[in-house]
Every structure is written in C-alpha cells, then in structure tokens.
Structure 1
C-alpha cells in the first residue's frame, strides 16, 4: 500500500466537500493537461476516432479527443463526491429519466434484469443513481486493481448505496446467473476488449472488434430482460437515461445478438461521442492476419 495511494484517496475524500463547479473546473484543467502530456493514451484515442469516424474532419476528431480527456478527468474527480459526499448531495446531482415502466421495475420489480451500461464516463454515477433507489440485489463485475488499497476503496464506493454484490471476472458465471434467477439486477459493461478468449469478432463502427457475448449469454441463461442505461455528464451532475427493454433480445444466436448490441451502442455514442471511453484500446485484439491498430 503506497503513500501516494493513501494521499490520493484522502484527496478524493476532501473533494466531496468542494462545490461541484470548482471540481469540474479543476477537472477541465487537468483534462487539457492530460491531453497534452499523456501522449501514448492520446494516440489510442486518435486511432479509435480515426477508425470509427472516418467521415469526420481531422479538426472535429481533435475536438472530440480534447473533450474526452476533460470528461476522463472530471468523471474521475466526481468519484470523490459520489463515494464520500452526504446522501442528499449525491441524490441532488443524479437525475434519472426515461422509460417509466423500466425505472419502476428496477426499483420495485422481481423479475431478472440486466442493465446494459456501456462505457460512458458516467457509468459509476449511473450505478449509484440506480442502486440508491432499489432494495433489489444488484451485481456488478469488476477488474481487480493492482494496489489493494485502491481496489478496496473502489469496491466500497460502488457498494455504498443499496444491496450491491461485487464479483471479480475470475469468479465465473455461476454466481451471476444465480443472482439473476433470484430476481436480481446485473449491471453489465460488456463493450470492452478483454482479449481473444471467449470472444467473438463483430463490427463496431464497421471495424471487427473482439467482443464478449456475455450480454446475450447471461440474458438467455438468467431468463432476464435487457434494459440499456446511458449516462451523461452534465453541468449539474449526471443525467441517467433508462431506455425501454429490448423486445427482440436475446435470440439463439449469440454472435448476431452481440453484433446487434454493438449497433445499438453506436446509436447511443453518436448522440455524445466525446463522452464514450475512447481511452480504451478497443481494437487491441485483431483477427488473425490483421495488422495492429495501435
């Protein structure tokens, strides 16, 4: 446990008591600095945007890249108040809107449900907003952090409100399916490149992308409906939109389902491209014989 981790967590706790405009202003400065100095990560963002938005001008892609670094910094600093500010402060900054029937079912329902939560920068805010308003058991899958202190801090933050169960990716699917079949919620973020194992290549903005077909698989095995949740960072906090459940999902074809998931994800991204997680090497795993992207 490093001293820098302890100081970092203490700094985030202190941010919980700082007015939101100040936090966001600091994040904007920090994001612009990161865009300038984090050269290797900026190249990842630039490569992703060039592949996914070839129709946009170079100037437009540069604008999106600069904005995405600002959102990276702001959303990270926001975890200070998300995980440490008083309940009333957090609740006042999180606005849930969208499909009324699905919102009510998240809060009061008993049927298995998967919340498809793509990697927008407000993903932690969306999880907090929804677990604050339901007693239903909610499962989320996370990747262990190398620093045990940071790992424990993140887990506790995500479990702060509601009945939240955090599972590691190595825990397997049995506890996930068991939780769904008992009428739980699964907060699932399957839109990243987790390597070649147990993935399929389906188009993402026309580019073959290694994608885990877990949304289809878990929905079928857990007999769960799929409800998309799209999170947006705003000047007053976050806006979390709960969309109508997918009526045509899952099918017996997991590959086709996963391709459909990516197409629908694209439609969400197109409404706010700067807020998607372009800092991730989404195309690091390539089809056999394909040239590397990064």
Structure 2
C-alpha cells in the first residue's frame, strides 16, 4: 500500500515546475543528512579516503551536497518517468560526441554512478534511435520493481533489460547485433566478481566487466557523464577510448578507475558516495566502515 502511495505521489510531482521539485529535494536532502547518521558516516569515510587533502569543512559541505543531489535526483524520476515527453526532451540535453552513438557499431556506454544516471538512460533511449540494454537488478518490492523497470525503459526502440542472472553469451550477442549497452561497473559487488585496483589511491574491489564485455563484444567504449543542472540534466557523450580494451583486464580496469577519477573531480558532490565503495578489503586489511 505504501509503495503504491509513493508512486502516486511521484506521478503528481511530475506536474510541478522543476524549481519546486528541486526545492523540495533540497529540503528533504538536508533532513536526510541530519537524520540518516549511518549513511552519513559512509559518505564521510569515502570522502576521507579519496580526498585526504581536503579540510574537514570541505568534506562537510560536500557531504551535505551529496545528500541534496541524491534526493533531488530521486524526485526527478517523477518527471523523467511521468511528464510529457517534450518536457523531458527539453530538460535532458544530450551533448558532446553524440556521433559516437550513431549507426550500429558495437558500443558500450560506460555510465559511472553519478546521481543523474536515470536521466542518462532517459536521454539516450529517448533521443538515440537504437535499442539500449542494461544489466538490471530486481527490486525486492514487486510494485516498485515494475515501476522502476517501466520508468527506465519508457522510451526507445524495444528496450531490453537484462537481469544479472542472464548469461554473458546473451549480453555479448546483443552487443554484437548493434544494441547499445548501458554499463555501470563502478560499484563494489563483492570479492567473487571483482579484482582489486586503485581508486583514488585506495585498493578497491572493482568488477572488470567493462574490459570483458568490450573484448567479447568487439565493442568500443564511450563514456557517458551526466550532470544535474538547474535546468534539468546535461548528458555528455565523450569520445570513445582509443586502444581499449587491451589484453590485460586488470590494467583496463585500473585505467577505467583512473579516468573515472577525472570525471568525479569535475563534480565530486554529484558522485554516488552513499555506496560502500570500499566495503570489500584485500585479504588482511581491516574494514573501513
């Protein structure tokens, strides 16, 4: 019942002017920053490890901004998934090397976990005439799961979500057939699926899936960096990476993290620092959270 009421609230929120939605997100974000103490500690640890040169005042400011941006981006799902398509197109600007997404060449979109990742999906599926696939993790609540699935695949040509349980062969086949793959490999999925490579100088369990899928799918890798703006979102398509992948998946994954650091440095408060990025530690190293 509560999940259905929440979805109804989001549908109604879609009709409000964007400044009001963002103001509500700002207020709720500050409230969450104050009351959700365990998650605030996670953000603090992440920032302390990745930006040891910052002052404590800098970290506190970015911590507050992280909660605000995360909340605003969540409420933005209301209009991304329910507003008139022209409203969405006007607010979500696809910029940069958009030509990289033309045609049917096997292509993987490296989409890091910035708060605007849902806007990135929406912008690509609405404005690029290609089918987009992604590895989808089911939500525990079936009502919410159906809402998220429908919202993320609102636009596009025959969108095709793939569950994490599906085999590599099916995913690789889709890439080779010309589907755009929207891949978010910059999270900690545990030691079974990961290798340890540096992330801001800290050993981080990282899935080598970008290198693996690019090699098996014979695909180019195109970074997609989404920024939350006062007008909506900028979905920036970057030039494809030269000489990627190599024959060394560990070196490729380390390079991915290094380039991700450069994207984060441009807007550190918009990265998804609420995730326990360093939960899995190398053997013998103590936990950080």
Name the TM tier (shorter chain).
Answer: over 0.9
| Offset of residue 277 of structure 1 | 0.2
1:86 maps to 84
Residues in 1 aligned to 2:52 and 2:267: alpha-carbon distance in whole angstroms: 17
Residues in 2 aligned to 1:236 and 1:134: alpha-carbon distance in whole angstroms: 21
| Offset of residue 104 of structure 1 | 2.5
Residues in 2 aligned to 1:209 and 1:172: alpha-carbon distance in whole angstroms: 25
Task: After TM superposition, list the pairs within 5 Å mapping 1:157-196 onto structure 2.
Answer: 157-163=151-157, 164-196=159-191
Question: Are 1:40 and 2:34 matched, yes or no?
Answer: no
**Unaligned ranges ≥5, structure 1:** none
Q: Secondary structure at the match of 2:266?
A: coil
Question: Are 1:271 and 2:266 matched, yes or no?
Answer: yes
**Unaligned ranges ≥5, structure 2:** none
Residue in structure 2 matching 1:109, options 100, 103, 107: 103
Q: Report the count of equivalent residues.
A: 288
Residues in 2 aligned to 1:17 and 1:133: alpha-carbon distance in whole angstroms: 22
Q: Secondary structure at the match of 1:171?
A: coil
Q: Could you state the TM-score of these two structures normalised by the residue count of structure 1?
A: 0.97
Superposed CA offset, 1:172-209 (max 9, x none): 21221011010110000000000111210000001110
Question: Are 1:125 and 2:122 matched, yes or no?
Answer: no
| Offset of residue 134 of structure 1 | 2.2
| Offset of residue 239 of structure 1 | 0.6
Alignment root-mean-square deviation, CA: 0.7
Residues in 2 aligned to 1:198 and 1:19: alpha-carbon distance in whole angstroms: 43
Q: Secondary structure at the match of 2:122?
A: helix
Superposed CA offset, 1:35-81 (max 9, x none): 00000000000000000000000100110000000001000000000
1:205 maps to 200
Question: Are 1:141 and 2:135 matched, yes or no?
Answer: yes
2:146 maps to 152
Q: Could you state the TM-score of these two structures normalised by the residue count of structure 2?
A: 0.98
Residues in 2 aligned to 1:20 and 1:241: alpha-carbon distance in whole angstroms: 21
| Offset of residue 135 of structure 1 | 2.5
Runs of 4+ in 1 over 4 A off after TM superposition: none
| Offset of residue 248 of structure 1 | 1.9
1:262 maps to 257
Superposed CA offset, 1:240-264 (max 9, x none): 1111000121000000000000000
Superposed CA offset, 1:7-40 (max 9, x none): 0000011111011000000000000000000000
Residues in 1 aligned to 2:22 and 2:56: alpha-carbon distance in whole angstroms: 27
Question: Are 1:10 and 2:2 matched, yes or no?
Answer: no
Contact 2:188 2:277 in 1 (8 A): yes
1:287 maps to 282
Q: Secondary structure at the match of 1:25?
A: helix
1:22 maps to 20
